[in-house]
Amino acid sequence: MKYVLVTGGVVSGLGKGVTASSIGVVLKACGLRVTSIKIDPYLNTDAGTMSPFEHGEVFVLDDGGEVDLDLGNYERFLDIKLTCDNNITTGKIYQSVIDKERRGDYLGKTVQVVPHITDAIQEWIEHVAVIPVDGKEGPADVCVIELGGTIGATVYSKNNGNGILDAGDIESMPFIEALGQFSYRVGPGNFCLVHVSLVPVLNVVGEQKTKPTQHSVRGLRGLGLTPNILACRSAKVLEENVKEKLSQFCHVPAANIITLNDVTNIWHIPLLLRDQKAHEAILKVLNLQRVAREPKLEEWMNRAKLCDALHDPVRIAMVGKYTGLSDSYLSVLKALLHASVACRKKLVVDWVPSTDLEENTAKEAPDAYNAAWNLLKGADGILVPGGFGDRGVQGKILAAKYARENNVPYLGICLGMQIAVIDFARSVMNLWDANSTEFDPDTRTPCVVFMPEGSKTHMGGTMRLGSRRTYFHVTDCKSVKLYGNVSYVDERHRHRYEVNPDMVAEFESAGLAFVGKDETGKRMEIIELPAHPYFVGVQFHPEFKSRPGQPSALFSGLIAASCGQLDALLQNPSHLNKPIKAKISSNGVFSPKVYQNGHQKGHTHKPANNLVNGNYYSNDWFHLRSPLRREV
């Protein structure tokens, strides 16, 4: 087994996860089998109990693991299926060591960080690295390991005016020590360290500065880890004299110093690595030159070029409570992107804080209220993602009601499905006190209830998690057609509440179709409004299995309905999964026959380049807009 360790220095948020994923893509394109591990030094056992504001979204795996969002990047880039053991945390390591101590496995020895914790880390890595994740038998050829946190920063304290070297977070120290030992344990030719660092440009002088990277590498070497390759984040391509300076002071060959400059979309990153021969440097360190071939990345190149060429916009209003941090809905954004690119549309995401749609905001902050409703009414489609808690729920219900009454394409995920059911009960069935017991435990009309197998005393790992099978009970519906007329689908779940099974018959008689159910037929998984152009709610999270070349069926349906392509898609849903060809039309716009369903009557598109209060992100290919915000 060969190992590639990716670390980060200077500052956080440099893109270690995307870099690690892109390294895996290039190595896979060289004909090697690749697996991935993410190390998170926090004390939590997993990411399941953390707020999205703390660490971004919680990504859910097939086995029910609630893990860091970077594992979502690995799965999307490499098209693999990871397990919860591919995410190592301090909490998991200490828990396993304490369990061994309680069983007496250490035979009376004093249990210490070194060697017991560090040995446990190394053993975990070796065990997980050989588990196949690509559907084939036998272990992978290369394991890419990302170490979370920042290495080699300098911090100052009142008692130490000269500064002390900080290994990122204090809890990172056992992992750094373990990985230093591990590099010696596996031996030369089996371990390659890629250090991602920052080369900033000061606006005053306009010069690329190398000192932050020099200090970071010096700190890394002082901790027992020597980088083989430097991946330097910078706004522009590194100048040759800057590379020579870094090579001289960091003791890394100039050929092994890679520029990760700003790009128009992240699918260019594997191409940047390939063009700078990063794969050759890694293969040389790992003694794999004779085994690997030249990387074949034609489809990646075509997709990256297509993304840059798209101009015709499709606007999706994202109605949620965590709209202040886009990473809270990262997989949803990626699934929207995959679907929009497949439909040859440029994605424009309008962030709509659900609280701003509520009547209280109309009184307290009328500007924010009007801005939120203007965004919602100007969107081609509406998406309400998952969430927890009662803050902003009334705004989400109003968004679902607006989509239902105005024939705007709608996709509700998890909570987004549940609030659509609540709106239907209140507005269509005249059950004005209908609610979820999550928001009102004493409601007289509980149309959404707590699942009987759930725990009300423990939060971590007690939800209905992981891949579960949904059986279609209606054959002539949009969902089953989008999935390719199959009898069932396997999707990932993360929820504690469900549609009240005692009210299903009442809902169905009122016109709400439950087209997908679990194996018992008592748990509702997919809802549709048959007479609506596209109104779909799902209890599961289809975004977690969306891939660049294989967009989620239901996200594809939302995008297609939002831009008038739904009828064509329902007739031939498989065309979205075909490889992207190199030839792209001059303006990058795919122009199929326009169908009426999915368009609000009288609605017109606005040009994407005339966004008011909008932001364009250079590291991706979509627009994000937020309404006028108020301080909360």
Q: Which residues are catalytic?
A: 414, 541, 543
Q: Can you say how many angstroms the Cα of residue 156 is from the centroid of all Cα atoms in its chain?
A: 35
Residue 104 token pair: 């007496």
CA–CA gap between residue 410 and residue 487 (Å, rounded): 23
Burial class (CB in 10 A: 0-12, 13-18, 19+), 203: exposed
Q: Write the single-letter amino acid at 263.
A: V
Contact 181, 118 (CB under 8 A): yes
Contact 57, 107 (CB under 8 A): no
Terminal-to-terminal C-alpha distance of the chain? 51
Question: Which residues are 160's β-sheet partners?
Answer: 157
Separation of CA 415 from chain center? 18
The string over 134-159, giving b where at least 16 C-beta atoms fall within 10 Å of a residue's C-beta and e elsewhere, is: eeeeeebbbbbbbbbbbbbbeeeeee
Partners of 233 in beta bridges: 198, 260
Q: Find out whether the peptide bond into 115 is cis, omega within 30 degrees of 0.
A: yes
Q: Cα 194 vs. chain centroid, distance in angstroms?
A: 23
Token pair 């209003």: residue: 317
Helix (H, G, I), strand (E, B) or coil at 308: helix
Rounded to whole angstroms, how far apart are CA atoms 569 and 345?
14
Crossing angle for the helix pair 330-342 and 298-309, to the nearest 10 degrees = 90
Cβ contacts of 326-330, under 8 Å, gap ≥ 24: 326/351, 326/624, 327/52, 327/56, 327/57, 327/69, 328/52, 328/53, 328/56, 328/57, 329/57, 329/385, 330/56, 330/57, 330/69, 330/72
SS3 state of residue 297: coil
